[in-house]
Amino acid sequence: MPLSSHLLENAVDQLATLPGIGRRTAMRMALHLLRRELHEVVRFSEAVRKLREDVRYCTECCNISDRPVCDICDNPGRDRSMVCVVEDIRDVIAIENTRQYKGLYHVLGGVISPMDGLGPDDLNTKELFERIKKGGVDEVVLALGATLEGDTTGFYVHRKLKELGVQVSQIARGISIGGELEQVDEVTLGRSISDRKPYEQMVKR
């Protein structure tokens, strides 16, 4: 049913494109924005605009950053001999919240998924392998979701890293099969990192 305002309808249409947002929720959000003070809405829209225009990817780990090198990679207190490989930024946040891991990260930007047309070359795997070739990394920790795609990606990365002679471990499976890291509670995820095992040992189970 057409709305009385084309501007409102356009706003609802755009809000409804966000993941998990249906038209009813989009309508509530649009009407809420109409009730806000103009300067608050401008500040909101400016924050979204700057997010899209100015956020970049760290040249070291491919994490989201405001600068060429993210704060984690730039922190001299981090253990630079250890790199944790994750699917995306949400996994970095989840692991950081556990306060159990003090190394660096590498964000793949996805997982291998033939059904979705995603192969190794569509991920940040080349950057990872080049990073390891430079030296200084003793251990790579695979912290990917307990899904078929996560396991496929882990197997591929492990095979490539084994050729480079670096130790590869995997977080302990305190995570249910099919689970995503961001949905795991901090205690379980922290324990999974602390109790990580060599990758070959995990695969043989």
Q: Report d(CA 88, CA 63) in Å as an integer.
A: 8
pLDDT tens for 43-67 read: 999 999 999 999 999 999 999 999 9
Query: How many angstroms separate the CA atoms of 178 and 190, rounded?
Result: 18
Greater model confidence, 5 or 182? 5
Q: Quote the tokens at residue 167.
A: 């130790």
Taken in order of first residue, the domains within the chain and their CATH numbers are: 6-54 (1.10.8.420), 77-203 (3.40.1360.10)
CB under 8 Å to 157, separation ≥6 — which residues? 85, 125, 128, 140, 142, 168
* pLDDT of 3 higher than 90: no
Mean pLDDT of 165-175: 80
Whether 195 shows a pLDDT value over 80: the answer reads: no
Mean pLDDT over 91-112 rounds to 94
Kind plus residue range of the DSSP H or E element containing 32: helix 23-35
Confidence at residue 172, expressed as pLDDT on a 0 to 100 scale: 73
- Greatest CA separation found in the chain? 66
